[in-house]
Structure 1
Amino acid sequence: MRGPENSDDWFALTDQELPIGGAYEWAVLPRCGAVVLFSGTVRDHAADRDDVQHLTYEAYDEHVVPVFERIGAEVRRRWPETGRVALLHRTGRLGLGESSVLAVVSAPHRPEAFEAARYAIDALKESAPIWKHEVWADGEDWGTDAHDAVDPRSVGSG
């Protein structure tokens, strides 16, 4: 999985390992002195339960990628000097420590890069229709922190 050569936006779902190094390298631009990369990883616990063993994510490109595009547009509206924006989410079964989501933003200066990346991951979590199934030592269920998706424009920036 490689970033687009002729675009400053990279929005995708994949069932493959997320290209953390590749996403960072893609985001580097001569006019940008800051790249912030957030990687969300599968941890061993969830709300009110320990011993999470693995997660499975389900999502559909035709529903998720347009939301990612709206988040990217909002990043550029709030931080107009933004260089590149990547939102990548993995689907399928993921084990502990595997990266499930990337939010990458490059900008001329670090404050804007940090703020924009924080907004991007928060908006993704609040807005994208992605379902998480958790398996732990003595049970399994769909993520208990599910909520209705909101418009990315309504998400705060930190």
Structure 2
Amino acid sequence: MLRFSNRPRKSRPAARQNSWRRLFGSRRLFDTVLLGLTFVTAARLVSAAVAQSPQVAMPGDIVPVERTTNWIAGVNVMKAHDLSDAFAAPGHACQLDIKYMARTGGSFAVLAVRADGVMLSWAGGPTAPGQACAGGETGILVSDADYRSMLLRVPTGG
């Protein structure tokens, strides 16, 4: 059995009930704006990822090492390994001193891309004053990160 009373109901305070609507308007408008901001942010992230795609080594690429080059990212000395061929295990460790190599000049050529790095051939002078790599006689294995840092250079023009 239903009972009805003439007594008025307790209502919520008006300030608390309408605070959401005063700040943001309707909930649908807020959701639309939030979805729009999310979409714009995602679009900007995707476009930045496409525009700044990392450079990947390809066999046949040539990286010149010249005296008139400023090296970025603090590239001075890199660890490397001598390789007898593209499928061999890394040989003895050696060093690539980029600033030392730039004195006489030369260039790297990418011979192969492996899972553990990039196989390069060096045509130029000694690679370091101490533990020099064999260079053109065999291949040189450097990590992918070191190869990418070798690409970060700015020609000075003189």
Taking structure 2 as the reference length, the TM-score comes to 0.26
Q: Which has the larger radius of gyration?
A: 2
Structure with the bigger RCO (C-alpha within 8 Å, sep 6+) is: 1
